[in-house]
Amino acid sequence: MSYVGSTGEISASYRPLEDVPTLHRPKQTVRFTAPGSVTNGQFGLFRYEMKPRAGGPGPHIHKTFSESFYVLGGTVRLYNGEKWVDATSGDFLYVPEGGIHAFRNDSDADAAMLILFAPGTPRERFFTELAEIVDSGRTLSEEEWAEFYARHDQYNLR
């Protein structure tokens, strides 16, 4: 939706760090800085912090949203569908809908990046539900995992 007025409006949304929901995991921390619920569904922005040797997801695609990665610090291995690169502070990767990608921290140091996705689908549910499954000790069948990933528009390739 575009703004059609001429004088502007008071509509900015400030969100201090203490109001940002954060998911702490043993190998990573995800700060749900600006999920779609905060940006009127236009985009989502998360801060993703990884411990040394945290690994990461394998090659996958999303059919309904693009995803971008901006490295804040450390070294993040980014996969662009063709090759892996060691990305460092200031490096950026854009992945359109259907683009094969992956990321991981294989280094001996912490790494952090911003993940931006558009439109702002509720990606925080993917991370929180995955954490709940792991924490509960539940074992999902291959079919249940496939349903989980499909529900969250993530299609793992390898």
Per residue in 78-89, pLDDT (tens digit) is 999 999 999 999
Checking if the pLDDT of 1 tops 80, the result is: no
Instruction: Answer whether residue 95 shows pLDDT above 90.
Output: yes
Q: Under 8 Å CB-to-CB from 113, ≥6 apart: which residues?
A: 47, 48, 69, 70, 71, 72, 76, 103
At residue 2 the predicted structure's pLDDT band, cuts being 50, 70 and 90, is: confident
Mean pLDDT of all residues belonging to the chain: 96
Residue 6 in any domain: the answer is no
Q: Is 11 helix (H, G, I), strand (E, B) or coil?
A: coil
Q: What is the CATH number of the domain that holds 28?
A: 2.60.120.10
For residue 147, the surrounding DSSP H or E stretch is helix 142-151
pLDDT, residue 90, reads 98
Domain count, the chain: 1
Q: What is the per-residue pLDDT for 158?
A: 74
The per-residue pLDDT for 41 is 95
CA nearest neighbour of 121 among 38, 34, 43, 15: 43
Strand ranges, E, within 12-154:
22-24, 28-34, 44-50, 60-61, 66-73, 76-79, 84-87, 92-95, 102-104, 111-118
12: in domain = no
Once rounded to an integer, what is the mean pLDDT over residues 126-143? 94
Does residue 8 lie within any of the structural domains? no
Does residue 26 fall inside a structural domain?
A: yes
Q: Is residue 11 part of a domain?
A: no
Residues 97 and 63 sit within 8 Å (Cβ to Cβ): yes
Please tell me the predicted confidence (pLDDT) of residue 23: 97
Does the residue 2 lie in any domain? no
Q: How buried is residue 123: exposed, middle or buried, by Cβ count under 10 Å (0-12/13-18/19+)?
A: buried
- Residue 91's domain spans which residues? 17-156
By three-state DSSP, how is residue 78 classified?
Answer: strand
Residue 5 lies in a domain: no
* Mean pLDDT, rounded, for 3-29: 95
Is there a domain that residue 29 lies in?
A: yes
**Exposure string over 56-83, b if 16+ CB within 10 A, otherwise e:** beeebbbeebbbbbbbeebbbbbbeeee
Task: Report pLDDT digits (tens) over 111-132.
Answer: 999 999 999 999 999 999 999 9
